[in-house]
């Protein structure tokens, strides 16, 4: 009994250590005082100032545009790549899958610096295009990792049956394979979108003057001194991430429920 209580206390302390700073940040985003040690009353003025800030609105525009484009393109390329890898022979498949893990475990600073050197060596101007290409490159391995498990659980006989019935390979891909792996594709898109919004290091190395995202703006604002608008901005970003996580978990639970119901017949 004592051991069980100690485990609960230990887990409670870990959660407090992890989430207490986030709760403080959210709370002080509604603080009327600029001092972090004094509560001046409830206010929404920092959110109003946030949306009146031209730099923030510009950064938000680039953040959303880059995240949507990068996630969409990376999902398309990653899905096609995963299908190709799935149809490889065992040895080449194993080699390529292990190579795909390298960008995932590789430090972001190495990836960002490498991409920056690549762009500069080809005389490419750093800006919106370089940031977009960098985010696509960064997102593709995660999409492949999200789609591959769905391909492994795919019944091979479905595709073979479609081909035997006269379907072309492209038609079988669109009508049989893609619908079966759609949960993995959607998960890959959401992961890529979240990673793109959250990214700082790669964006910092591969962007140019006049093109910034929210993470870079927050970093530059923090260097000049933490303002309450940063708390408001961080709260909104946290809310967006929580909504995405809720959608992912809700969809996963729905898919699992449909599979369980289908297995009862």
**How many folded domains does the chain comprise?**
2
- Provide the residue range defining the domain that includes 37: 1-43
pLDDT in tens, 244-261: 778 777 776 776 666 666
58 and 10, same structural domain? no
Residue 176 has a pLDDT of 81
Say yes or no to pLDDT of 119 above 90: yes
Angstrom distance (rounded) from CA 202 to CA 28: 30
Mean pLDDT of all residues in 130-154: 90
Q: Which two tokens stand for residue 76?
A: 């398309």
Select from 17, 20, 19, 28 the least CA-distant residue to 231.
28
The rounded percent of the chain whose pLDDT value lies above 70 is 93
55 and 3, same structural domain? no
Does 257 or 28 have the greater pLDDT score? 28
54 and 38, same structural domain? no
> Mean pLDDT: which of 3-7, 71-75, 190-194 is highest?
71-75
The model's pTM is 0.80
114 and 16, same structural domain? no
110 and 181, same structural domain? yes
Instruction: Evaluate whether residue 37 is within a structural domain.
Output: yes
66 and 18, same structural domain? no
Say yes or no to pLDDT of 38 above 60: yes
Instruction: Evaluate whether residue 262 is within a structural domain.
Output: no
Q: Which two tokens stand for residue 149?
A: 């498990």
Residue 265 has a pLDDT of 40
CATH number at residue 199: 1.10.3720.10
Does 196 or 253 have the greater pLDDT score? 196
4 and 134, same structural domain? no
Instruction: Evaluate whether residue 160 is within a structural domain.
Output: yes
Instruction: Evaluate whether residue 54 is within a structural domain.
Output: yes
224 and 118, same structural domain? yes
Mean pLDDT of all residues in 14-37: 83
62 and 18, same structural domain? no
224 and 105, same structural domain? yes
Q: pLDDT band at residue 36, thresholds of 50, 70 and 90? A: low
* Beta bridge partner(s), residue 42: 31
Say yes or no to pLDDT of 115 above 80: yes
Select from 183, 216, 214, 187 the least CA-distant residue to 201.
216
145 and 27, same structural domain? no
Select from 228, 202, 226 the least CA-distant residue to 215.
202
Select from 255, 87, 241 the least CA-distant residue to 183.
255
Does 164 or 132 have the greater pLDDT score? 132
DSSP symbol at 174: I
18 and 149, same structural domain? no
Long-range pairs of 92-99 with CB within 8 A, sequence gap ≥ 24: 97/148
CA-atom Rg of the chain in angstroms:
23
Angstrom distance (rounded) from CA 3 to CA 25: 34
Q: Which two tokens stand for residue 225?
A: 């001194």
Instruction: Evaluate whether residue 264 is within a structural domain.
Output: no
Q: 3-state secondary structure string, 85-101?
A: HHCCCHHHHHHHHHHHH
Residue 259 has a pLDDT of 62
Is 247 within 8 Å of 44 (Cβ atoms)? no
């Amino acid at each position: 009994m004592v051991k069980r209580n100690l485990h609960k206390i230990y887990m409670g302390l870990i959660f407090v250590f992890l989430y207490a700073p986030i709760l403080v940040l959210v709370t002080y985003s509604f603080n009327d005082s600029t001092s972090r040690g004094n509560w001046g009353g409830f206010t929404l003025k920092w959110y109003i100032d946030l949306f009146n800030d031209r730099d923030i609105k510009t950064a938000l525009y680039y953040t959303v545009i880059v995240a949507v484009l990068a996630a969409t393109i990376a999902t398309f390329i990653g899905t096609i790549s995963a299908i190709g890898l799935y149809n490889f022979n065992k040895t080449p498949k194993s080699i390529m899958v292990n190579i795909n893990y390298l960008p995932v475990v590789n430090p972001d600073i190495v990836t960002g610096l490498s991409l920056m050197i690549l762009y500069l060596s080809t005389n490419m101007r750093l800006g919106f295009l370089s940031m977009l290409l960098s985010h696509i490159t960064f997102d593709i391995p995660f999409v492949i990792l999200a789609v591959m498990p769905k391909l492994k659980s795919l019944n091979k006989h479905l595709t073979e049956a479609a081909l035997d019935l006269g379907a072309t390979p492209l038609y079988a891909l669109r009508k049989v394979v893609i619908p079966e792996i759609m949960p993995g594709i959607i998960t890959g898109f959401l992961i890529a979108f979240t990673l793109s919004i959250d990214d700082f290091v790669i964006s910092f190395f591969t962007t140019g003057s006049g093109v910034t995202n929210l993470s870079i703006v927050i970093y530059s604002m923090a260097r000049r001194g933490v303002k309450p608008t940063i708390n408001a901005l961080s709260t909104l970003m946290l809310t967006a991430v929580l909504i995405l996580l809720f959608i992912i978990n809700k969809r996963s639970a729905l898919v699992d429920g449909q599979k369980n119901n289908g297995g009862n017949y």
